[in-house]
A and B are shown apart, each in its own frame.
Chain A
Amino acid sequence: MTATPTTTISTQSFRPRPPEAGPVERPRPVDPAEQHEIEQFLYFEAQLLDEARYSDWLDLLAEEVAYRMPSRGNRLHRDLTREAGGPGDLGHYDEDLATLRLRTARVQQTVAWSDNPPPRVVRAVTNVQATRPPDRGEDVFAVRSVVNAYRNRLADDTDHFTGFRADVLRRGPEGLLLAERTVYLADSVILAKNASLFL
């Protein structure tokens, strides 16, 4: 069961609220200490990725990790539920631990020309909103965050990637683990020659 939204669009998007619906329900944030721990986890993860410490990064992933980046399209309001690709659609990432291992193993080779010499990437993670999804116990968190990444490659090959992430974190014996991530980039056309970085 997934604790994260599978679409970007709520039934409320671009629609006036029906009169019978109540006022907005405010989120129930986790404790400040838990919030702090979650933020520090996400910042550390971003640092490992910035530094291309992929073996270390893999330690932060749960065995059952699912890492996705659906494609997004331009749809009329009536078709908005289909503006982000679902499970049967073609996306930019749909990974499990095995393919994440493969992808990182590739970049750790000197003959991975797209990353040798390496690009310079800076990720900023913000707007971290953590809640406890119902029925998942004390050790599972649903976390929404925003990521902004700047990548400079060689001289003037520069890209911006901005999106929000719907994550599921769970507590393992060594600390928090990333169990699920869906990255919703704010682009329908990726304005870069590749999106082969992890956000």
Chain B
Amino acid sequence: MTTAPPEGPSAAARDLIDLDLGTLNREVFESGPLLRTELATVFTRSWLFLGHESRLSRPGDFTTAVMGQDHVIVTRSRDGRIRAFLNVCRHRGMRVCRADSGSATRFTCSYHGWSYDGTGALVEVPNHDDGYEGRLPLDRWGLVPVTRVESYRGFVFGCWDEDAPPLAEYLDGYRGVLDWATDGLDEPELVGPIKWRLQGNWKLAAEQFANDTYHPQTAHLSATSLLGVNMPTEGRELGSRYGHGWTIILPEDPNYAAFTFGRDPDSAEPGHQALIHGTVFPNFSMLGDRVLRVWHPRSVDDMEIWSWVLVDASWSPEQRRQAMRMATLTFSSTGIVETDDSENWSEIQAVGGGHVTGRTALNYQMGLGSTTTGDPAVPGFTGEVGHILNDVGARAFYRRWLELMEGPAPTLPQTAPAPMPAPSGR
């Protein structure tokens, strides 16, 4: 009936989740201290989605992104490399770049004028000669670089953890999803993002996309009935040891064609089953091959949603527009499917503050005990697999979450303050 976490507002993550029982105490959506721990562990040790190479095609192209609550600039520098660094001036902490995207060879702070180049190096300090008497070691005051930046199929991710596995390994079986989504595109291009905010913990959205094919028949009935979409019955729910969860529909499902997004349904190869929805742990999600998402944690009960659409730059303007119109109609700030998700997440949050409520377990038991390791229908994947109606993705998500919450924080980039050298001649 209920689990009994320790008293007090900052129960340990371990006491809130029982994955053998398949329960989760809703304090995980409510606790401010837990969010600080998430930012220090989950968001520093995971690969976080930063953007797509199509938006960074020429040297100097930049876009801004957020990693947990750390604001970063992502740019292609003159040497052709994609780099990311904190969008925070090393002098007094001003946001250096206040445009969402553009092209720049320098990022100059609008407070006192410190200026950084496309590699993040501090290259100009006003009054360096008279104010600092030329003594400031500029090479020690560059923008803080994101420890690792790697791409897979044009999708750019960043990570603060030197010891994290390489991105391709981290993506695990989800690589197949990104392959499937981009294989048919000559020039993948990510359009957007549009952004909006929701009063709800970020995990409510991330977890649902990782897992939940149970809700559409109820939550989305108004939209699916009009769109003529029947929810699939033949599919798999997958959970990776890195916390990713996703749902695929198998070719034998009578509704398979509706989920192949224009591809020839007969061309389906094993391992290329259509994605319905999925989350790359912790907060990068997808719907089919079209809509991409990041759920940014602004505070424990506030997320900012960034939503993109994946298109092919070589499509005709009309084809491109149709793809975007379909995404806008269904999953967007105004989407007829999305609005019912938002309603659920914000209302879950709205009733979550109660003392008794916070100590009541929620149910993640669907499919418990009936999942397998790997599945012949999903070649190459060795994680946990279950029938499409299953909480295996959510359990994988929270298993990884707990592992990181209880584990160490990574060694962050060397940010020890540099001493000011003594004046020459002393």
Judged by a CB distance under 8 angstroms, whether A194 is at the interface is: yes
- In the complex, are the beta carbons of B339 and A93 less than 8 A apart? no
Judged by a CB distance under 8 angstroms, whether B332 is at the interface is: yes
Q: How many Å lie between the Cα of A13 and that of B409 in the bound state?
A: 48
Q: How many Å lie between the Cα of A102 and that of B326 in the bound state?
A: 12
Residue of A69, A87, A111, A195 ringed by the most chain B CB atoms within 10 A: A111
- In the complex, are the beta carbons of B195 and A189 less than 8 A apart? yes
Q: How many Å lie between the Cα of A90 and that of B336 in the bound state?
A: 16
- In the complex, are the beta carbons of A193 and B197 less than 8 A apart? yes
Q: How many residues of B contact A (CB 8 A)?
A: 49
Judged by a CB distance under 8 angstroms, whether B419 is at the interface is: no
> A87 touches which one: B221, B317, B343 (CB < 8 A)?
B317
Q: How many Å lie between the Cα of A192 and that of B99 in the bound state?
A: 22
For residue A77, which residue of chain B has the nearest CB? B99
- In the complex, are the beta carbons of B191 and A190 less than 8 A apart? no
Judged by a CB distance under 8 angstroms, whether A196 is at the interface is: yes
Contact with B along A122-163 (1 / 0, CB 8 A): 000000000000000000000000000000001101000000
Judged by a CB distance under 8 angstroms, whether B320 is at the interface is: yes
Min distance, Cβ B346 to any Cβ of chain A, angstroms: 5
Judged by a CB distance under 8 angstroms, whether B94 is at the interface is: no
Q: How many Å lie between the Cα of A194 and that of B327 in the bound state?
A: 15
- In the complex, are the beta carbons of A190 and B196 less than 8 A apart? yes
Chain A hits for B195, CB < 8 A: 71, 188-190
- In the complex, are the beta carbons of A190 and B102 less than 8 A apart? no
Chain A hits for B327, CB < 8 A: 90
For residue A71, which residue of chain B has the nearest CB? B194
Is chain A's binding surface mostly helix, strand, loop or mixed?
loop
- In the complex, are the beta carbons of B102 and A79 less than 8 A apart? yes
Q: Given A69-B334, A90-B324, A190-B197, A109 and B309 touching (CB < 8 A)? A: no
- In the complex, are the beta carbons of A105 and B343 less than 8 A apart? no
Chain B hits for A91, CB < 8 A: 194, 324, 328
- In the complex, are the beta carbons of B338 and A194 less than 8 A apart? yes
> B334 touches which one: A115, A188, A194 (CB < 8 A)?
A194
Judged by a CB distance under 8 angstroms, whether A55 is at the interface is: no
- In the complex, are the beta carbons of A114 and B329 less than 8 A apart? no
Min distance, Cβ A31 to any Cβ of chain B, angstroms: 36
For residue A185, which residue of chain B has the nearest CB? B333
Min distance, Cβ B270 to any Cβ of chain A, angstroms: 33
Chain A hits for B307, CB < 8 A: 90
- In the complex, are the beta carbons of A92 and B332 less than 8 A apart? yes
Contact with B along A110-123 (1 / 0, CB 8 A): 01111100000000
Contact with A along B203-227 (1 / 0, CB 8 A): 0000000000000000101110111
Judged by a CB distance under 8 angstroms, whether A20 is at the interface is: no
- In the complex, are the beta carbons of A76 and B222 less than 8 A apart? no
- In the complex, are the beta carbons of A111 and B196 less than 8 A apart? no
Min distance, Cβ A63 to any Cβ of chain B, angstroms: 18
For residue B190, which residue of chain A has the nearest CB? A90
- In the complex, are the beta carbons of A92 and B194 less than 8 A apart? yes
Judged by a CB distance under 8 angstroms, whether B20 is at the interface is: no
> B197 touches which one: A88, A113, A191 (CB < 8 A)?
A191
Judged by a CB distance under 8 angstroms, whether A89 is at the interface is: yes
Q: Given A94-B328, A113-B219, A114-B342, A103 and B336 touching (CB < 8 A)? A: yes
- In the complex, are the beta carbons of B346 and A196 less than 8 A apart? no
Contact with A along B63-97 (1 / 0, CB 8 A): 00000000000000000000000000000000000
Min distance, Cβ B60 to any Cβ of chain A, angstroms: 13
> B222 touches which one: A73, A109, A188 (CB < 8 A)?
A109
Min distance, Cβ A60 to any Cβ of chain B, angstroms: 20
Judged by a CB distance under 8 angstroms, whether A99 is at the interface is: yes
Contact with A along B387-401 (1 / 0, CB 8 A): 000000000000000
Min distance, Cβ A65 to any Cβ of chain B, angstroms: 14
For residue B101, which residue of chain A has the nearest CB? A73
Q: How many Å lie between the Cα of A68 and that of B104 in the bound state?
A: 31
Q: A102-B226, A103-B329, A113-B343 are in contact. List 13 more A-B contacts (CB 8 A).
A: A79-B102, A88-B320, A91-B328, A94-B328, A95-B329, A105-B226, A106-B336, A114-B340, A154-B350, A191-B196, A194-B338, A194-B339, A196-B334
What are 18 of the A-B contact pairs (CB < 8 Å)?
A74-B98, A74-B100, A75-B102, A87-B317, A88-B321, A90-B191, A90-B193, A90-B307, A90-B328, A91-B328, A102-B329, A111-B222, A112-B222, A113-B219, A113-B344, A155-B350, A193-B342, A193-B345
B interface list, Cβ under 8 A from A:
98-102, 191-200, 219, 221-223, 225-227, 304, 307-309, 317, 320-321, 324-325, 327-329, 332-336, 338-340, 342-347, 350
